[in-house]
Amino acid sequence: MRRQKKERQQLLKKTIRDNPFITDEELAEKFQVSIQTIRLDRLELSIPELRERIKHVAVQQLEENVKSLPLDEVVGEIIDMELDVQGISILDIGIEHVFKRNNIARGHHLFAQANSLAVALIDEELALTAKATIQYVRPVKLAERVVAKARVSNIENDKGRTVVEVRSFVGNEIVFTGKFEMYRSSKNSEDGSSK
C-alpha cells in the first residue's frame, strides 16, 4: 500500500531507528517506492546512508565496550556487542579478500572475522584464542556480505576460559562455523569481581 510522503517519511524514520542496518533496497521494497525516492527521503530527513549508520554504531560500540582488542585490529565491522554474551560483525568481500583466478574469498579472512569477533566479545583486557574448531560450509564470493554472529556458550571462571561459537552467514545461508576456546587474562568469581 502506497503512503503519502509525510507518513512514509515518519515510518521510514521509525524503521531505520528500529533497524539501522536495513538497506535502501529493502526500504524501497517495504514502502513500494523507488530506491531513488528512499534516498531523497533520507536526504530530507538527514539520515545517513547504510554504511555511515553502520560505522557510527560500530565505533560507538567498540569505544564504549571492547577491552581486549583495539579498533584497528578487528576484521570486519562490529555492529552489535554485549560483552560475554553475544556480538555481530559484517565483512563486505572486496577484491582484496579474494583469489584473482576465481573471485572466491580466501578462507583466512572468514576465520579472521570470526576470531576477532570472538576475542572482542571477551570482557577482559587480554583475551587469546587457545583452541579453534572451524568448518567452511560453502565458498564466499566477491561482493558478498558476510554477517558473523557470535555467542558465548560457556564461561569456566575457575579455568579462565570462555567458549564462543560463531556462525557466519551470507543472507540466510551459513558459510562458516567456528567454536573458539578463549583464554581470559584473569579468573573471575561468580559475581564478576576479579580474584
Q: Are residues 69 and 83 in the same domain?
A: yes
Report if residue 190 sits inside a domain.
no
Per-residue confidence of the chain (195 residues) as pLDDT tens digits?
567 889 999 999 999 888 877 888 989 999 999 999 999 999 898 888 876 776 666 666 566 667 777 666 889 988 788 889 999 999 999 999 999 999 999 999 999 999 999 999 998 888 999 999 999 999 999 999 999 999 999 988 788 899 999 999 999 999 999 999 999 876 543 444 433
Indicate which CATH number applies to the domain containing 20. Answer: 1.10.10.10
Report if residue 135 sits inside a domain.
yes
Range of the domain at 41: 5-47
Q: How many domains does the chain have?
A: 2
Q: Are residues 37 and 67 in the same domain?
A: no
* Spatial contact of 87 and 162, defined as CB atoms under 8 Å apart: no
Element (H or E) spanning 65, and its range? helix 50-65
Q: Are residues 133 and 96 in the same domain?
A: yes
Q: Are residues 38 and 91 in the same domain?
A: no
Q: Is the pTM of this model over 0.95?
A: no
Q: Are residues 13 and 93 in the same domain?
A: no
Q: Are residues 68 and 97 in the same domain?
A: yes
- Residue 112, class by beta-carbon neighbours within 10 Å (0-12 exposed, 13-18 middle, 19+ buried)? middle
